[in-house]
Amino acid sequence: MSTDDAERDGQRIDKWLWCARFFKTRGLAAEAVSGGKVQVDDARVKPARKIRPGDRLSIRREPTQWDVVVRGLSAQRLPARDAVALYEETAESLARRTSEEERARRARMRDEHVLGRPSKRDRRTLERYKRMDGADPPDS
């Protein structure tokens, strides 16, 4: 099937999601579509649903959600740098994703000092606190 035939007839949504690299396997893509994680024009669909350029997709893979417009179809899985040409992400979706990523990055940075074993300084502060029998811990 040529690219022109594919664009005229459409392509299965599970195959397109795999080709566009939203999912690692076609089976995972089909499972996500069946589970309602992927919608076409705000409607739940089946994995065999044909999509065409211009269709609007909402793709949820926790914790991320993409809202994209289909721009092209492909008969085979493409390298990541070429796969991004198959869709165009909406401005709202891009802004939402970047703010979520920034929030997650800040949370990781905030919790970074809590993870793992206490440092020598932290251990000594804790020991001083324990000796004070319940008094407020000193600020470090």
Q: What is the pLDDT of residues 63-115, one digit of tens each?
A: 889 999 999 999 899 999 999 999 999 999 999 999 998 988 888 777 666 66
The whole domain housing 134 covers 91-140
Task: Please report, rounded to a whole number, the percentage of residues in the chain having pLDDT higher than 90.
Answer: 61
Total domain count, the chain? 2
pLDDT of residue 28: 95
109 lies in the same domain as 76: no
112 lies in the same domain as 85: no
Q: Please report, for the domain that includes residue 2, its CATH number.
A: 3.10.290.10
Higher pLDDT, residue 33 or 126: 33
100 lies in the same domain as 50: no
- For 24, how many CA atoms within 13 A lie in the half-sphere containing its CB? 1
Q: What are phi and psi of 110, to 5 degrees?
A: -65, -40
Say whether pLDDT at 13 is over 90.
yes
List the structure tokens of 79: 């390298």
pTM of this structure: 0.70
* Structural domain ending residue among the three candidates 55, 73, 89: 89
108 lies in the same domain as 127: yes
